[in-house]
Structure 1
Amino acid sequence: MKRNLSIALGRIFILFLLSFGVKAQEWKNVNPKMNHVLADTTFLRATEVILQPGEKSDMHTHPAHFFYALTDGKLTVHYKDGKNESFDLKPGASGVSAPERPHVTENTGATTVRFLLVELKEHPYQESKNKKK
């Protein structure tokens, strides 16, 4: 059960990085004040993400990634397709996720949320080619 929660949390954080439109926006460019890039190579980017209470990201996507919660907190991920997911974070919670679809991440708690996000650049988000027209 703890593993399933970690996987779900990972997917939420990925969605946190999705973008508007056909092209996905990189998290580091969409909300630069919310992140501190720790490492950026040809194959990965490690970022410390910081969201203040009530703060929301812009719409973005994520490549496949790993996350590690550094603080307690509450996040809600609002997907472009209208679905929402909420998460209660605890320090040490972690997860791995496939590339995430467009979303906005919101700190819905009363405390600052901090987590480590490691994105795998070789596995980017790609919009489905089977979209309805």
Structure 2
Amino acid sequence: MNDPVVVNPELYRVVFENDRVRVLEYRDQPGERTSTHSHPDSVMITLTDFRRHLRAGGHEVEVEMTACSARWLDAQEHSGTNIGTTPTHSIFIELKEPRPTLPGARRLGPAES
């Protein structure tokens, strides 16, 4: 796993951690880009509006979210670029317990449920 705090320490910081979860704060400016990093299953909470371009395993998506949104994020490895005109400020609540094995594909980027 490419830990985002290690790979992108200028953008991510740990704000809380115990044996079940880790909470990260993410901040960037328009045009800034992350190196490839991994997240386990997580909940992402946006504190600002943002637009991002995400890349993973040959797939690319553009994501736009409004402030004060919460979304599920399947475990994934990706890189991203702030393609908006405003800074990004988000919180990630990363789960340390593995997900039960269920059929179905995981998706790149946040999901509605």
> Given the two structures, how large is their TM-score scaled by the length of structure 2?
0.81
Contact 1:99/1:123 (8 A) holds in 2: no
Moved over 6 A (4+): none
Q: Does residue 90 of structure 1 match 2:66?
A: yes
Output the amino acid matched with 2:97. Answer: E
Q: 1:52, 1:122 → 2: CA distance?
A: 32
CA RMSD of aligned residues (A): 1.4
Of Structure 1 and Structure 2, the greater helix share is in 1
What are structure 2's unaligned runs of at least 5 residues? 100-113
Aligned twin of 2:43: 66
Q: 1:98, 1:56 → 2: CA distance?
A: 20
SS of residue in 1 equivalent to 2:32: coil
Question: 1:28-43 to 2 correspondence within 5 Å?
Answer: 28-43=5-20
* Matched residue count: 99
Q: 1:97, 1:60 → 2: CA distance?
A: 14
Aligned twin of 1:53: 30
Q: 1:107, 1:121 → 2: CA distance?
A: 27
Q: 2:33, 2:73 → 1: CA distance?
A: 21
Q: 1:103, 1:36 → 2: CA distance?
A: 18
The percent identity for this pair of structures is 25
What are structure 1's unaligned runs of at least 5 residues? 1-23, 125-133
Q: 1:26, 1:123 → 2: CA distance?
A: 16
Aligned twin of 1:14: none
Of Structure 1 and Structure 2, the greater strand share is in 2
Output the amino acid matched with 2:58. Answer: G
> Given the two structures, how large is their TM-score scaled by the length of structure 1?
0.69
